[in-house]
Chains A and B, each alone.
Chain A
C-alpha cells in the first residue's frame, strides 16, 4: 500500500490544486453524510420528525426563511439540508457498494480469463461482450422494473436498495474484467510469474500474491471513474422512478420530487440536490482524472 501511494504520487498530489480541492470537497461530503445524524436536528426519513407546519419554507436568506432550516424545506416539512446529507449518504453508499461489487466480480473474472486463457477466457469474454451489448442503464431499469412487480410489496422497501446496487454493479463489471484480463496477460508473461511457476506454486498463489497486486493500479483508476458513473446511474434510476424507494430518498429521488416544484418558485427543492449531485460526481471525476495521469508512467506531469 505504501508502495502504491509512494511519495512521488503524494508529491504530485500536493502540487495539483484541483486535485486537492476536489479531495477536500469529497472529504466534506463524506464527512457530512457519515455524521449527518449529529450535524442536523432532523432525520428526514423519519415521518415522526416531519411536521407539515414547517413545509415549504424558503432558504434562510430569503424572506420567511428560518435559521432552523438553512436551505429551506420541502412540501412535507423536510429540512433540505438534512435531506442533502442523508441523500448523499444513500447515493454514496449505493455508489460504493455497486463499485465494490463490480470491482470484485470484474477483477476476479479478468484474472481467471487472463491467466488460464482457453475456454475460461472464451466464456468470460463472451459474457463481457454480451454485457457490453446491453447498456448498464437498461439492465438496471429492467431488473428494477421486473423485481419491483415480482417482489411482495412488504419486502420491497428493504430489498430495492440491494436490487439497485446489484443492477448497477452488474452492469459495470466488464470494464474491470477487460482491463484486468489484459493486464493479467501481460503480468502472466513476466518472468517473476514464470519463476513462481518453476517453483511449483499453484495458480491461486500466483494470482493472489503476484498478479493481483500488479493489476490493481489500472483498476483503481477505473473504480474512481466508475464511482462517479454509479452515483449518476443511481440518480438517474431514482429520477425515472426505478431506483430506491421514495421514503428513503437518495439525491436522485430528491431531484425527482423537487422537479415538481421547479416552476412553482420552490426552486430550492431541486437546485440544492442537483448541485450536490453534480459537485459530488465532478469532484470524483477530477480526482480520477488526476489519478489516471499520476499513475500513468508515460505521462510525466507538467510536460509530455
Chain B
C-alpha cells in the first residue's frame, strides 16, 4: 500500500488541462480480482482498474458506480516459433508452423467474435492485424477477420500434410492480460475441433515471460502494444527482431520496415506501414485475436479519463 500526496507547488494545478481536485491518493494493490471488486462494491475504494469482464454488469447495476472503458493500444495474439526445425512439444515432424496453410487454418478455426461475446462479455474488439486502432496500418477494413470455417481449416491442414492434425503446447500467462487463461482455454477447445491437440500450459507471468523471450516456447499467447503511438515499434519487435521476435522472416516486410524507418513523409510512411501489416496478415505471421479494453470501475462522483495504457492520471481526476 502506498500513498501519494499532491505537490502543492506544482505549476499545473488548476490549469484547464489538469482540472484535478484530488489531494491524496491511496494505492492498494489487490491481486485477487474478486476481492478487488468486492472492495469497490463495499465502498472502500473509489476506483479500481481492470474490472474483470464478468463483473462489469454487476458493478454497473449498482447505482453508486459506473464502468468506463477504452480499447487498449495492445493487440492480443497467438505467436509461433519459426526458429526451431522441430517443435519440442509437438508430435509432428518438423515445424508445422512454418507452413502457411497451417497458420491459415488456425486463423479460420479461432472464433474471435464468440470469444468476445462469451469470455470478454463484449469488452474486446476482434482483429486480424497487429496494429491497434488509431495507429498507422489499422483500418476497420484491414482488421476484418475471415469467417470461421472449420471444414476449410481441416482441408488446409490436410493439404499442408497434417490430415490427422498434430499436437503442440500453448504457453499462456494466467495473470498478465484480461482473461488470458480463459482465452487460451477457449482457443484450445476451438483448435481441438480442427484436429490440433493443444496442451495448455498456464503460468504466472514471470515464468511465462521467460519462455517467450527465451524463445523456448513453441506456441504462445502474447499481447503487444506501443508506448509511442507508433505502430512501427510493434512491427519492428514482432516481425523483424528483438526479444519478442520468434523467427518470422519476410524479405518484403524487412525492406518496407527499413524504408519506413527512414521515411520522413508521414503519409508515405503510413502507407508503407499499412502494407507491412497487410503482408503480415496475409502471411498469417501470427494469429491476432483482439484488442482488449481498459475497463475501470469507479464511484459515480469520480471523473477521470480512462487511459489506454491503464495508467490513471490523477492530475485530471475530479471528485465531485
**Do chains A and B stick together as partners?**
yes
Binding site for B on A (CB under 8 A): 46-48, 50-53, 55-56, 75-77, 149, 153-154, 156-157, 241, 245-247, 259-266
In contact, A264 and B114 (Cβ under 8 angstroms)? no
With a CB–CB cut-off of 8 A, which chain A residues contact B201? 153, 156-157
In contact, A47 and B54 (Cβ under 8 angstroms)? no
In contact, A75 and B54 (Cβ under 8 angstroms)? yes
With a CB–CB cut-off of 8 A, which chain B residues contact A157? 199, 201
Q: Is B118 an interface residue (CB 8 A)?
A: yes
Query: What are 12 residue pairs bridging A and B, where the CB atoms are less than 8 Å apart in the complex?
Result: A47-B185, A47-B189, A47-B192, A48-B189, A52-B190, A241-B174, A241-B204, A245-B202, A246-B185, A261-B54, A262-B34, A263-B55
In contact, B58 and A264 (Cβ under 8 angstroms)? yes
Q: Please, how many angstroms separate the alpha-carbon atoms of A265 and B59 in the complex? A: 11
> Which residue in B58, B191, B207 is a CB contact (below 8 Å) of A149?
B207
Q: Please, how many angstroms separate the alpha-carbon atoms of A77 and B119 in the complex? A: 10
With a CB–CB cut-off of 8 A, which chain A residues contact B88? 154
Closest chain A residue to B208 by CB distance? A153
With a CB–CB cut-off of 8 A, which chain B residues contact A77? 118, 189
Near A by CB (< 8 A), chain B positions 81-134 give 88-89, 111, 114-115, 118-119
Q: How far is the CB of A138 from chain B (nearest CB, A)?
A: 19
Q: How far is the CB of B58 from chain A (nearest CB, A)?
A: 5
Q: A47-B198, A52-B115, A52-B190 are in contact. Are A263 and B185 (CB under 8 A)?
A: no
Q: Please, how many angstroms separate the alpha-carbon atoms of A245 and B200 in the complex? A: 9
Q: Please, how many angstroms separate the alpha-carbon atoms of A245 and B37 in the complex? A: 25
Q: Is B24 an interface residue (CB 8 A)?
A: no
Q: A259-B34, A260-B34, A263-B37 are in contact. Are A76 and B199 (CB under 8 A)?
A: no
Closest chain A residue to B119 by CB distance? A75
Q: Please, how many angstroms separate the alpha-carbon atoms of A184 and B199 in the complex? A: 49
In contact, B189 and A246 (Cβ under 8 angstroms)? no
With a CB–CB cut-off of 8 A, which chain B residues contact A261? 54
Q: Is B312 an interface residue (CB 8 A)?
A: no
Q: A52-B111, A52-B115, A266-B54 are in contact. Are A260 and B202 (CB under 8 A)?
A: no
In contact, B181 and A264 (Cβ under 8 angstroms)? no
Near A by CB (< 8 A), chain B positions 161-190 give 169, 171, 174, 181-182, 185-186, 188-190
With a CB–CB cut-off of 8 A, which chain B residues contact A260? 33-34, 52, 54
Q: Please, how many angstroms separate the alpha-carbon atoms of A55 and B190 in the complex? A: 13
In contact, A246 and B192 (Cβ under 8 angstroms)? no
In contact, A153 and B211 (Cβ under 8 angstroms)? yes
With a CB–CB cut-off of 8 A, which chain B residues contact A263? 34, 37-38, 41, 54-55, 58
The 4 closest A-B pairs by CB, nearest first: A264-B54, A47-B189, A48-B192, A47-B192
Q: Is B193 an interface residue (CB 8 A)?
A: yes
Write out, one digit per residue, whether chain B residues 12-38 have a CB within 8 A of any chain A CB (1) or not (0).
Answer: 000000000000000000001110011
Interface of A, secondary structure class, is loop
Q: A47-B192, A47-B198, A154-B169 are in contact. Are A52 and B52 (CB under 8 A)?
A: no
In contact, B118 and A75 (Cβ under 8 angstroms)? yes
In contact, B118 and A265 (Cβ under 8 angstroms)? no
Q: How far is the CB of B52 from chain A (nearest CB, A)?
A: 6
Q: A154-B89, A263-B34, A263-B55 are in contact. Are A47 and B114 (CB under 8 A)?
A: no
With a CB–CB cut-off of 8 A, which chain A residues contact B111? 52
In contact, A53 and B198 (Cβ under 8 angstroms)? no
> Which residue in A48, A55, A56, A247 is a CB contact (below 8 Å) of B200?
A247
> Which residue in A153, A154, A246, A266 is a CB contact (below 8 Å) of B181?
A246
Q: Is B203 an interface residue (CB 8 A)?
A: yes
Q: A75-B118, A76-B182, A263-B37 are in contact. Are A47 and B203 (CB under 8 A)?
A: no
Q: Is B271 an interface residue (CB 8 A)?
A: no
Q: A157-B199, A246-B202, A247-B200 are in contact. Are A76 and B169 (CB under 8 A)?
A: no
Q: Is B319 an interface residue (CB 8 A)?
A: no
With a CB–CB cut-off of 8 A, which chain A residues contact B55? 263-264
Q: Please, how many angstroms separate the alpha-carbon atoms of A265 and B57 in the complex? A: 9
Q: How far is the CB of B292 from chain A (nearest CB, A)?
A: 16
Near A by CB (< 8 A), chain B positions 186-223 give 186, 188-193, 198-204, 207, 211
With a CB–CB cut-off of 8 A, which chain A residues contact B114? 52-53
Q: How far is the CB of B180 from chain A (nearest CB, A)?
A: 12
Q: A76-B186, A263-B58 are in contact. Are A55 and B118 (CB under 8 A)?
A: yes
B38, B119, B182 pick with most chain A CB within 10 angstroms? B182
Near A by CB (< 8 A), chain B positions 48-64 give 52, 54-58
Q: Please, how many angstroms separate the alpha-carbon atoms of A56 and B54 in the complex? A: 10
With a CB–CB cut-off of 8 A, which chain B residues contact A75? 54, 118-119, 182
> Which residue in B181, B188, B211 is a CB contact (below 8 Å) of A47?
B188
> Which residue in B41, B57, B189, B202 is a CB contact (below 8 Å) of A50?
B189
Q: How far is the CB of B219 from chain A (nearest CB, A)?
A: 12
> Which residue in B171, B188, B204 is a CB contact (below 8 Å) of A153?
B171
